[in-house]
Structure formats: structure tokens, C-alpha cells
A and B are shown apart, each in its own frame.
Chain A
């Protein structure tokens, strides 16, 4: 690692940005996440008064140990890649962290709900909003058409290329991720919960803000995959672009810009939502008269499981 090429310097710069972002989220968002709704809740599960002076101390310790352990594993893997100079493993590392971290958090939340929230309070009444949620109010179909157009053009370029060595795992996996996240967006629009009868308007506003924030994050994630897909198709499918250096830099610049926008959305959005929902009853912390307490609709969860399983299968297939 004594003499770095310009590409390696750029990668180091991106890694540095990523590490700063992760440290920020660890310290500002995740460290105290169990206490987001005050001392009456732990990770969205209602707890008895005095929980944090008794049993809660151990729970908080377990949560933070899990958090630090996960970050330590990621950091060690990154250091190993940097020291060995095997840059080729960086995309796998980035993809792995993007999957591993949410999986660990969701797993811990599920464990908490099973242990601490097994008997959530049951309300006899529930409120439902009479505002129609139309897909078109949340999903921009012209933008979806643009994405579809980019994917089709990219594949047309890739399938008609001549004499260039192609790695099909990139376009296949990237297309799978982008296309698969559209049904997830539809699921996010449809996913909802009955509202409590107290402070209904505020709970409704929070739910709406959360829905729009989730959709913006998903869109940001999709563009992070769309841009490299289009760039890869352009470089591989258009011999003139393959010979030039600047298209690669332009591509990296665009991906970086999208990533920075996504970070902005995550920082502002998650902070705003946490502040907005601080005094509200967390979603899924109570059972309605006709619906048990849960984090998301079973259909959405099942679809996410199937999509994620498909992604793992694809990655395993291409690793062979």
C-alpha cells in the first residue's frame, strides 16, 4: 500500500466518508435508540415503571454490546481488506454491511418483542384515517418509467456488446435489487396501523412522515444501484467509452453524489422522525381490537424475506 493509484485514493476517501457516517449514526441514532420514546419503552416495547433501574440495565447493556460487536466485526473486516490490499473485496464488504447491520438490528428487535413485549396492551378501540392513500400520491410513475428505461437500455447495450469480457453478476444483481425494491415501495405505501384514540392526529402525521421518509430512502438506495448499472453497460457496451478514463470518474462522482444525498435524507429524516415521535406511542406497541401488535404487515415481511432470500441465492450462485 505504499504507492496508491488515484483510484485507490478515491476508494480510501469514500471509505473515510462511510466510516464517518457510520460513527455518526452509531453515536447519534443507534446508541440510545431503545430510549427513543422515553423511559416507558424499550425499542418500542412498553415496559413497567422503573425498568431502567432494574432489568432494563441488563437489556440496555446487551443491546449496546450487540451494537459494538457488530461494528467491531465490520471494522476488522475492513482493516483486513485494506492491509491485504484486496480492494476487489470492498464491494462485497459494503454489500455485506448493508445487509448484516439491519438484519442484526431487526433480529434484536424481534428478540426484544418476543421476550419483553409478549403481552402488549390491548385496546378496545382503534381509529382509522379516511384519507385515501393512492400509489400515485407517493410513487412518481414518470420516475419509475425513467428507471425502467435506463434498465432496458442498459441491458440492450450489454446484450449487444461485441468482444468485451463481461461479468454478468453485476448487472443481474443490480437489476434484481432495483426492480425488487419497487414492490417493497408499494408495500410501504399500503403498510399501516390502526391509530390510537388519543393524540390521533399526531400519530397519523408521524405515520405519514415515516412512510414518505422510507420511500425516499428506498429511492436513494435504488439510484445507488441504477447509476453503476447504467455506467457498467455504457463502459462495456460502448467500446469508445471503455477506452476512456473520464466516464469512470464521472460514474464514481454521480454515485458519490447520490450517496451523499441519501446520507442527508437519512440524517435529517431519522432525526426529524425521532423528534416527532418522542412523546407518541410507538407503532406496534399495542394491539388493536381486531389486530395484534406487530411491526409490519405480514405480506410485506414475507415479500422482504423472499426478496432477500433471492438476493442471497444470486450472490451464492455467482460466487461459485
Chain B
């Protein structure tokens, strides 16, 4: 399993890591119980500050995706996020849909794009 980070990406580095790990979990590439590399290892491999990776891991832990034991590595704890309000869950989708509508995309095009993204998300999981 690999995680790509890009300096041209508008998201901060820790957010890229959070999103990358979540995508791998959603696709089924990272199963429950999988041990992730330590903060030191990821930071060393990328050449970034330890805190950047620590923040990303902490956020993932807060959202219920990781379990971090003191002195041990992080373990993927669940494929599902901690139970959150349905409205809260849909909020990012609404934001993305609004941006697509404002960009002039038709409902049909938006539906196709959503379908495409869903297929990409499930591609790996289905093949296993």
C-alpha cells in the first residue's frame, strides 16, 4: 500500500495523509487490524516533521479509524467512521455538489462523475 503526497496539492500535507489513509480503508486496501508504520518511519521516509504525521494519525484516531497505543504503532481499527449525524456526514457531499453546479455541470454530468468516483472507490475492494 502506498500513499502519494504532492506539494502542488492545495490541501495541507497532514490532510493529504488523512485523506489517503481513509481512501485506502474505504477501498479495502487497509483492513481492520493492519499495522501502519510508525510516525517516525513515515516522517523519515518523506523527510517531513514528526508533528505533521502525528497530527494526521491523531485526527484519524479521533475519527475512529486508527487505534494508537503509546509506544506502539498505529493499527487500523475500523472501516467505518465513528457514528456521526447523517446531516454532518452529507455536508462535504453538499459542498462538492454545490461546487460542481456552480462550475456549470449538468445534473447528468454530476451523476456520472459521482458514479465514476464510487466505482473507483469500490474497484479494489470488489476485486478482493
Contacts and interface: CB of A to CB of B under 8 A. Distances in A.
A200 B47 contact: no
Interface string A189-203: 010111101001100
A127 B1 contact: no
B85 interface: no
Contacts of A291: 46-48
Q: Which of B3, B36, B46, B48 has the most CB of A within 10 A?
A: B46
Contacts of A200: 2
A202 to B, nearest CB: 12
Contacts of B24: 130
Nearest to A130: B1
B37 interface: yes
Contact of B2 (A133, A195, A289): A195
Interface in B24-82: 24, 30, 35-38, 41-42, 44-48, 73
Interface string A70-85: 0000000000000000
B102 interface: no
B44 A190 contact: yes
Interface stretch (B5-13, B91-99, B110-118): B5-13
Contacts of A192: 41, 44-45
A129 interface: yes
Contact of B7 (A134, A204, A290, A292): A290
Contacts of A195: 2
- Majority-rule SS of A interface residues: loop
B85 to A, nearest CB: 30
Contact of A124 (B8, B38, B41, B73): B8
A132 B44 CA distance: 13
B4 interface: yes
A184 to B, nearest CB: 16
A130 B30 contact: yes
Give the interface centre of A200, A289, A292 by most chain B CB atoms within 10 Å.
Answer: A289
Nearest to A204: B2
A125 B30 contact: no
Interface in A179-234: 190, 192-195, 197, 200-201, 204
A190 B37 CA distance: 11
Given A130-B36, A288-B47, A190 B7 contact: no
B4 A197 contact: yes
A47 B30 CA distance: 39
Contacts of B5: 125-128, 289-290
Contacts of A288: 46-47
Contacts of B36: 130, 132
Contacts of B48: 290-291
A19 interface: no
Interface of B: 1-8, 13, 21, 24, 30, 35-38, 41-42, 44-48, 73
Given A125-B4, A126-B5, A290-B13, 11 more contacts: A124-B8, A125-B8, A126-B4, A126-B46, A128-B45, A128-B46, A192-B45, A193-B45, A201-B2, A289-B5, A290-B47
Interface of A: 124-134, 190, 192-195, 197, 200-201, 204, 288-292, 297
16 contacts: A124-B6, A125-B4, A125-B7, A126-B5, A128-B42, A129-B45, A132-B36, A132-B38, A132-B73, A193-B45, A200-B2, A201-B2, A288-B47, A290-B13, A291-B46, A297-B44
